[in-house]
């Protein structure tokens, strides 16, 4: 019987719909601050390739800090444009990028309503995010998610990143639930669905029209048990799993 719901955060409770235009704005700021003479489309292309290289390098690591992931992207980008002498700008780049990208995330319009309904159903609710503490904490506070969530766990706190088992074991220990009592909701097949399925959770993939989740590298993954496009679909799924769905 489902007694709890674990939520990913970015792309799940928060929408990524503003991510691409925000990233382009960040790159323009980077090009200006570093006084790059390259054509902007060339800057964007090299950054995109550096990002893909970092995805491949980090996707299978059992644990990493996102600060280190962004450091790898920045170093790869500078190498691609032949400006490795600009590495000293990383601290500014990491801080500016993190704050700007986090600021661009929008809480899904139905988030609070859906969480309130699930809480009324007697469910334990938690957030589990591949994120550093200085990324996750501002999102929990800004979205007032503490009103509904009993716990939230970052990969930094767990010392493990999804899809690796330790992350899920840490979250389960906090919850006091067994894996078969948890519904896991996430936007990433390779991180959320793959990891939650492997430990025995029931999985829900939430998706948006505007592109796939980040850090996908082409792994084969299990199919989610359910697919949704909005959080307000979750109470009906829980009811169906509990055998309490009402006839329409």
Q: In terms of Cα–Cα distance, which of 191, 198, 199 is closest to 219?
A: 191
Query: What digits encode the pLDDT tens for the residues 113-123?
Result: 999 999 999 99
CB 98 within 8 A of CB 104: no
What's the token pair of residue 2?
């489902």
In what helix (H) or strand (E) does residue 5 lie, and over which residues does it extend?
strand 4-7
83 — pLDDT class (breaks 50, 70, 90): very high
Residue 215: the pLDDT is: 80
- Look up the CATH superfamily of 4-16+106-242: HAD superfamily/HAD-like (3.40.50.1000)
Q: How far apart are CA 191 and CA 203, in angstroms?
A: 12
Per-residue confidence band for 246, with pLDDT thresholds at 50, 70 and 90:
very low
Report the predicted TM-score, pTM, of the whole model to 2 decimal places: 0.94
Q: Please give the angle made by the CA atoms of 23, 25 and 31, to the nearest 5 degrees.
A: 105
Please state at what angle helix 90-104 crosses helix 133-142, rounded to 10 degrees.
Answer: 30
Question: pLDDT tens digits, residue range 1-23?
Answer: 999 999 999 999 999 999 999 99
- Domain ranges within the chain, ordered by starting residue: 4-16+106-242, 19-104
């Amino acid at each position: 019987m489902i007694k709890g719901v674990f939520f990913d955060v970015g792309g799940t409770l928060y929408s990524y719909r503003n991510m691409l235009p925000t990233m382009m704005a960040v790159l323009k700021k980077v090009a200006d601050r570093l006084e790059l003479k390259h054509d902007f489309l060339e800057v964007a292309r090299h950054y995109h390739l550096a990002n893909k290289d970092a995805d491949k390098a980090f996707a299978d690591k059992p644990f990493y800090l996102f600060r280190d992931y962004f450091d790898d992207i920045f170093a790869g980008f500078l190498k691609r444009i032949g400006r490795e002498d600009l590495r000293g700008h990383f601290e500014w780049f990491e801080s500016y990028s993190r704050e700007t990208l986090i600021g661009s995330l929008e809480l899904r319009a139905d988030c609070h309503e859906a969480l309130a309904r699930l809480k009324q159903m007697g469910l334990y609710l938690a957030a589990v995010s591949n994120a550093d503490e200085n990324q996750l904490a501002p999102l929990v506070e800004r979205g007032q998610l503490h009103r509904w969530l009993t716990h939230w766990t970052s990969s930094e706190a767990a010392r493990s990143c999804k899809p690796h088992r330790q992350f899920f074991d840490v979250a389960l220990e906090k919850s006091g639930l067994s894996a078969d009592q948890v519904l896991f909701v996430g936007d990433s097949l390779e991180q959320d669905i793959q990891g939650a399925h492997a430990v025995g959770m029931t999985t829900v993939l939430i998706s948006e029209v505007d592109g796939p989740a980040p850090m996908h590298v082409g792994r084969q993954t299990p199919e989610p048990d359910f697919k949704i496009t909005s959080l307000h679909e979750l109470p009906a799924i829980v009811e169906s799993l509990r055998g309490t769905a009402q006839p329409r």
